[in-house]
Amino acid sequence: MCGVVGYLGRRRAARVLVAGLKKLEYRGYDSAGIAVLEGETLHVLKRAGRVAGLWKDATFAGDCGIGHTRWATHGAPTEANAHPHVYGSFAVVHNGIIENFSELRAACIARGETFSSETDSEVIAHLLERFYAGDFIAALRKTCACLKGSYAIAALRKGKREIALARLGSPLVVGVRKGELLCASDVPAIAAKDIALYPLEDGEFALLGEEGASFYDGQGRIEKQAVPCGGAEDVPDRKGYPHFMKKEIAEIPAAIAASRPAIGLDGQYSELCEVLCHAKYLRIVACGTAYHAGLGAKYAFERLARLPVEVTVASEFRSSDPILPTGTAVIAVSQSGETADTLAAARLAAARNVPVIALTNVRYSSLASLSPLVLFTGAGREIAVAATKSYCAQLTALYSLAAAVAEAKGMRGYGDLLARLPQLAAEAIAAGEEVQKFTPYFTGASSAYFVGRGPDCVTAYEGSLKLKEISYLPSEGYAAGELKHGTLALIGQGTPVVAVITSEALAEKTMNAVYEAHSRGARVFLVTSLPALARKEWITGSVLLPPCGDVFSPAVSVIPLQLLAYYVALARGNDPDKPRNLAKSVTVE
């Protein structure tokens, strides 16, 4: 989940590298570091903590270097464990996991070599030093042949202005512009209007040197075609908002509007609909928030298109030897398109000749390249680690697909309600500001609970996840009927319980759980589109949503809960954009 960046050109590399790392910090911010070649000298600067800690000391004059921002896997988030790692003539930065590093490390130690960190990545520098015999790419090929796991590697060697790159299972893209060569884990770190981009595929290598960028596979040199950058993709500024998360919640209506393809659209979208019209079963695989989007889509596909759906956590799908009968289609959902478990699940399905539809927010991601059937969301760049607008965009894209399949089958597609979602989301944002008044009841609590039925249960799951990941308050989301099957034992005086109710048909049943919690001392909060419920005098607080139809309601009802998590995080003194121990793009298993 770490971020890798490299630069060779005319400018001071140190400043370019730190600026690039700042744009990759969503991938990890436990530590950061750079290595810059200046003549025969290799300067290394590393700091525990965020990238900003490098800036004042990043004054080296060299114009060739590599950098890294870390999400800790092997070894604590310390300066010693920060990348780059240096051994002999080589400096290395790495994103991924080397699964056999213990054996490799033991072999290095047996040869008398010493290590300065606890990381798996340091063995790469040792192997490069061992295998180098005048050909950088040959040494990197031999090194990678020893590695088991995943990697995006950028390596620098003392004495020559060149950077060697390798990719397997972790993203890496090369950028070429006049007089400059760059590389990064993600396009925005290096994007510019006049740059040509060359995403590396698994098993490919690259050498950035005096003569330009050259590309290789396991056998020899290859030719690659550039892909368009689409203009500068700098990290957006907050535009007056105190945090990116708050700004991105405000952008939900636009993200929804941009993620709703026109039903009946020709081309690839109609091909996706055709695949699903012929499917007898649908499996959705995803992780975290994207998994919740899949749960929301299940209701839409089953209710609108009468297509049976099973939603599976991607890590469980790949390890369960899943049964995929004839007529099954798979949708793999990942905001970044680089989620390791989701990619592995999609590859497993494809290997069994099951059509895979990729749903992602990133055009040149690994997931997008895995399948010819791709549906892109229109969320735009999302900086805060906690997914907000990207979740609503995923739901909208999946709802649109379900509605299109329903119409193709001659059923009611709900196109009119889908068209209203941006306005409904805008109204939910305005109404959701009411949750600021709820925060005192959560800041001192030891736990919180979210309940709902049907599609509202999906919102309960996602609302709970948002609260726990940025406020660090233990929280769980439940189907309302399950509260009394064990969890009610945890409800005590003052325990916050949030109930989501958008379906009039299910309201009475959900309120049974609310009454049970209230009678045991819980502080009850409602997020509902039913005015009569919001007026009950014993409710501690409520948010009244616009009527949104329960099947699509998760894209609207989640918004007040995103705001609740945001305000509780602030009240507890946390940074809502960069929660501890988390990263935006989960590229390791």
What residues act catalytically? 2, 584
- Helical segments of 494-540, H only: 504-519, 531-534
Tokens matching residue 388: 């907000």
Question: Is the CB of residue 417 less than 8 Å from the CB of residue 400?
Answer: no
How far apart CA 349 and CA 330 sit, in angstroms, is 7
CB neighbours of 101 closer than 8 A, spacing ≥ 6?
A: 74, 120, 121, 123, 149
Instruction: Please state, as a whole number, how many other Cβ atoms lie within 10 Å of the Cβ of residue 339.
Output: 31
First to last CA, the chain: 10
Tokens matching residue 401: 């697909």
Q: Position of tokens 């950058």? A: 229
How far apart CA 348 and CA 327 sit, in angstroms, is 16
Instruction: Return phi, psi of residue 4, to 5°.
Output: -115, 140
Tokens matching residue 426: 């805008």
Tokens matching residue 375: 């549906």
Contacts of 228-232 with CB under 8 Å at 24 or more apart are 228/197, 229/175, 229/187, 229/191, 229/192, 229/193, 229/195, 229/196, 229/197, 230/191, 230/363, 231/191, 231/193, 232/191, 232/192, 232/193
Q: Position of tokens 């918004």? A: 559
Task: Output the CA angle 61-122-28, nearest 5 degrees.
Answer: 75
What SS3 state is found at 224?
Answer: coil
How far apart CA 470 and CA 570 sit, in angstroms, is 9
The distance of Cα 516 from the centroid of its chain, to the nearest Å, equals 37
How far apart CA 341 and CA 586 sit, in angstroms, is 9
Q: Position of tokens 């008044």? A: 437
Q: Position of tokens 């921002």? A: 69
Tokens matching residue 398: 């999946």
Helices 101-110 & 122-131 angle (0-180, nearest 10): 50
What SS3 state is found at 526?
Answer: strand
The DSSP code for 500 is E
How far apart CA 431 and CA 527 sit, in angstroms, is 10
How far apart CA 346 and CA 366 sit, in angstroms, is 11
The DSSP code for 80 is T
Length of the chain: 589
